[in-house]
Structure 1
Amino acid sequence: MAFALRPLRHLPVRPAALSTSNSPPDPREVLRIERILHAPSAAAARTTQPQEHQPAAAAAAAGLRHLFHSTAGLTDEESTTLLRRLDSPSTHQRLGRLLQELAGLPLRGGEIKAALASDPDGLLSMCPGEPSRFLEFVRDNLRCRKAVKEQILAHGALRAAVAARRRVELLHARGLTRHDALRVLAAEPRAVVYPVEDVERKVEFLVSTMGFEVRWLVQYPEFLGVNLDKWIIPRYNVVEHLRSVGGLGDSIEMKHYVRFSRKRFYNMFVKPYPECERIFGGMVREKEEMARRRYPTGLWKLFTPARYEQTQEEVANMKLLVGSLR
């Protein structure tokens, strides 16, 4: 019992011997860990940025809102909504020059505001100088009938200029130069009236399905003016059927799809092959048969004048009358 109550001696704690089996740490790994531990966070980096640019950005935004109000008659809320899409200071500078150019153009009242309401991205993405050039283009360089030009300018010259620029950028993205794209629109202004989705669908069908290069539009701009579903696709289906059965002797060019009239294309590719009638639609032959069967068979007999028997007295009277005229 006395042995049990005897206090225990405090033995000194010996440090554990370091293991020499592990390799020393890599200096590059240690440096990487120190960089991670001592690098400032993104939030701290943002807070340490100089604050002298914020007053300049606020002043630029206020100037743009004033330009929007004086040029297009927009309120502060509408101007702020448009400016939220443009965060870059360089974009603000370009937009300021663009609005100053629009303010100096001879436009009708409310035309700039209407263009911003219809296609704000298309108008605000223009570079300074483009509104003047495209306005001159839609007013003076379109080769079309008066009715088509009136339809293009029905909603204002500025909206027509923005629409023309949309088509030019679309054709440029597909491989045409901007100069050639303007030539195509000048020769086929109906492409400005049609929706941009319709123009894009025609270009996609020309390149991907028909296998032509987009530069063919410079020589045949009418392709963008005809109806794709009623004009191009039926002809393409007929040509593909004849090519599959070996019925094509010569190569098919763009002129066969675009510049041949419906009657001429029918006589050349459809009429010799009866199976192509259903593919093409059969409109020409049906119209011809309707023209032939306009009246029922035998109806002409009803329009034959009645014959009356002539007596000897009437014959004598006619001879006397003719003799007196001599």
Structure 2
Amino acid sequence: MAFALRPLPRRLLRSIHCSNPLSTSTSASPHDVHELLRIQRILNPATTTHSPQNQEHPRATTDLHDLLHRTAGLTAAEATSFLRGIPNTDRLGRLLRELRGLRLHGDEIKNALESDPDGLLSMDPGEPSRLVELLDGLRCRGAVKDRVLSHGVLWAAIAARQRVELLHAHGLNRRDALRVLSVEPRAILYDLEDVERKLEFLVNRMGFEIGWLVEYPEFLGVNLDRWIIPRHNVLEYLASVGGLGDPIEMKHYVRFSRQQFYNMFVKPYPECERIFGGLVRERKNEVRRWHPVGLWKLFKPTKHESTEEDVKNMKFVVESLH
């Protein structure tokens, strides 16, 4: 017992003696000694041994290095440099294990970690799997899907999440935002600035609520300058002169083809031709070629030279008919 009390400070020894006046230094309760040692460890952690959590920290770092190497193909130096800027390594470990389970190509994960680490690390657990499943099951034209997945499915998943968060920031819940992207994946091809510009134009200039995107997601997939703004300018002019009888709906902006919109709103009002662009009327005056130039040569029969034997055969056939 004297050996156990030797490293304790004098004030702790004094408290031991005062806790029981009838006891001596050799008769102190073991429970009191352990309690004082526990208090000393709490108050002076630097003078005590490292906790088990601190002892496991190098092992956790080694596991992350190995996980980064197996999942993203990073070298030891690259992994060390990358981990210096990551405050939450636990979140990174869970994310890497989930990405490894998706069987993605190592270059995709490495490029995502290098180009947009914040966008990748901001995903919640299970979110990459849901987004990858959504992108794999896109029902759209093959050319659009190829463009969306041209940089890899992980890049597309990060871009889709950024647009979901942008739609959510403008008042649309995340479930409806995912539904909009699944129906109109062309929104992923536009920059975030272009998508935000469309949303601001929809709400501030056109006067529609953000919830209309659930019914008309095509609005995010068309060009704002060449498709939406000319139509809005025509409708805005007609509304100012009293030329609109029925209320304008979103379908007039996104569901009508250029020819349909022209016939309904531009053709009856010649002054709207300049506002709309005048391209439809000019094209109608042109003579449209029904076949490509030189196609008639393909229908011209091939000319064969007649030999004496062919002439005799033809005469024989004609004589046999009489």
Partner of 2:111: 114
User: Is 1:167 aligned to 2:163, yes or no?
Assistant: yes
RMSD value over aligned CA atoms?
2.4
Partner of 2:239: 243
* Superposition deviation, residue 112 in structure 1: 1.1
User: Is 1:124 aligned to 2:121, yes or no?
Assistant: yes
TM-score by length of 1: 0.68
Residue 55 to residue 262, structure 1, CA distance change in 2 (3 Å): same
Whether the 8 Å CA contact 1:143–1:189 is kept in 2: the answer is: no
Whether the 8 Å CA contact 2:203–2:209 is kept in 1: the answer is: yes
Residue 267 to residue 49, structure 1, CA distance change in 2 (3 Å): farther
Separation in structure 1 between the aligned mates of residue 91 and residue 214 of structure 2, nearest angstrom: 32
User: Is 1:290 aligned to 2:290, yes or no?
Assistant: no
Q: Which amino acid in structure 2 is aligned with residue 198 of structure 1?
A: D
Residue 77 to residue 182, structure 1, CA distance change in 2 (3 Å): same
Residue 172 to residue 248, structure 1, CA distance change in 2 (3 Å): same
Partner of 1:197: 193
Residue 49 to residue 190, structure 1, CA distance change in 2 (3 Å): farther
Aligned residues: 242
Taking only the aligned residue pairs, the percentage that are identical comes to: 66
Separation in structure 1 between the aligned mates of residue 143 and residue 81 of structure 2, nearest angstrom: 37
Point out the more displaced range, 247-256 or 190-199: 190-199
Separation in structure 2 between the aligned mates of residue 57 and residue 222 of structure 1, nearest angstrom: 50
Separation in structure 1 between the aligned mates of residue 158 and residue 206 of structure 2, nearest angstrom: 30
Residue 57 to residue 209, structure 1, CA distance change in 2 (3 Å): farther
Separation in structure 2 between the aligned mates of residue 81 and residue 206 of structure 1, nearest angstrom: 44
Partner of 2:135: 138
Gap runs ≥5 in structure 1 = 1-47, 293-326
Partner of 2:75: 75
| Cα deviation code 1:121-165 (max 9, x no counterpart) | 21121122111111111001x120122112222222222222211
TM-score by length of 2: 0.69
User: Is 1:280 aligned to 2:276, yes or no?
Assistant: yes
Point out the more displaced range, 49-58 or 176-185: 49-58
Gap runs ≥5 in structure 2 = 1-42, 289-322
Separation in structure 1 between the aligned mates of residue 200 and residue 232 of structure 2, nearest angstrom: 14
Residue 58 to residue 175, structure 1, CA distance change in 2 (3 Å): farther
Q: Which amino acid in structure 1 is aligned with residue 173 of structure 2?
A: T
Residue 221 to residue 49, structure 1, CA distance change in 2 (3 Å): farther
| Cα deviation code 1:262-290 (max 9, x no counterpart) | 11111111112211111100011111122
Partner of 2:262: 266
Point out the more displaced range, 249-258 or 165-174: 165-174
Q: SS where residue 157 of structure 2 aligns?
A: helix
Separation in structure 2 between the aligned mates of residue 213 and residue 49 of structure 1, nearest angstrom: 60
Partner of 1:182: 178
Separation in structure 1 between the aligned mates of residue 171 and residue 45 of structure 2, nearest angstrom: 44
Residue 81 to residue 243, structure 1, CA distance change in 2 (3 Å): farther
5 Å-filtered alignment, 1:30-69, equals 60-69=60-69
* Superposition deviation, residue 60 in structure 1: 4.4
Residue 109 to residue 246, structure 1, CA distance change in 2 (3 Å): same
Partner of 1:297: none
